């Protein structure tokens, strides 16, 4: 099988990006969100639809946009503000814990290294990397279900888990693509390269994609 030209793949996705459904955290970042707001938005988005995340984040940020302001809210009020995001009870308490740690251990500023971000409760590699790319514009590779699925579907990596995909991409993906890779593939995955029965007839990269694992498409 011919190796996919990743530079061409990324170039084509960039060209059609405006027609795709941009991920919610990117939209929030493009509105001038702070690293803390990116962190909060990313945590809210976990296991939650983008539309729900957008409404919940907007409602929360009208009341509290900083760790200090989060700590001025009790857990019940915070739950009401972020409802109905998935696991809102847990996320409300987690936001309070994270806000306290950021104030006590980081002088009120979100850390800008993956090792420090991973120390925050509930922050995994996906969240930490997204905060680095969207909050700090630092080179990192955020791998969610879309990035994992599509990177394997196009034959660029051969991995079984998102974490293994991240490290495979760190070894292989040109650094110039790191920051944009998640944004492009999430938008592409939400709009065209869906998990089941992807829209291959509408896909701008169909001609260069080996469609690994695709048994049914539209």
Instruction: Report angle CA 140, 143, 144 to the nearest 5 degrees.
Output: 145
For residue 102 the two structure tokens come to: 């950021």
Look-up of token digits 């996320």: 91
Q: What is the spatial distance between Cα 13 and Cα 161, in angstroms, rounded to a whole number?
A: 24
Q: What is the spatial distance between Cα 87 and Cα 47, in angstroms, rounded to a whole number?
A: 8
Q: What is the spatial distance between Cα 6 and Cα 133, in angstroms, rounded to a whole number?
A: 20
Q: What is the spatial distance between Cα 199 and Cα 217, in angstroms, rounded to a whole number?
A: 6
Q: What is the spatial distance between Cα 176 and Cα 139, in angstroms, rounded to a whole number?
A: 8
Catalytic residue annotation: 126, 144
Q: What is the spatial distance between Cα 99 and Cα 68, in angstroms, rounded to a whole number?
A: 7
């Amino acid at each position: 099988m011919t190796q996919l030209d990743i530079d061409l793949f990324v170039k084509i996705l960039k060209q059609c990006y405006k027609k795709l459904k941009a991920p919610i955290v990117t939209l929030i970042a493009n509105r001038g969100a702070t690293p803390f707001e990116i962190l909060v938005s990313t945590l809210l988005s976990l296991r939650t639809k983008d539309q729900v995340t957008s409404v919940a984040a907007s409602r929360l940020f009208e009341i509290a946009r900083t760790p200090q302001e989060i700590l001025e809210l009790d857990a019940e009020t915070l739950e009401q503000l972020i409802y109905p995001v998935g696991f809102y009870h847990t996320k409300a308490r987690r936001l309070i814990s994270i806000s306290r740690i950021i104030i006590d251990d980081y002088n009120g500023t979100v850390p800008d290294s993956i090792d420090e971000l991973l120390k925050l409760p509930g922050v995994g590699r996906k969240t930490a990397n997204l905060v680095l790319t969207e909050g700090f514009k630092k080179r990192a590779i955020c791998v969610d279900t879309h990035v994992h699925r599509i990177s394997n579907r196009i034959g660029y990596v051969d991995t079984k888990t998102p974490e293994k995909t991240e490290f495979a991409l760190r070894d292989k993906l040109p650094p110039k693509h790191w920051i944009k890779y998640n944004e492009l593939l999430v938008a592409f995955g939400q709009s065209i390269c869906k998990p089941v029965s992807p829209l291959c007839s509408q896909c701008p990269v169909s001609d260069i994609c080996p469609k690994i694992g695709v048994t049914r498409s539209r």
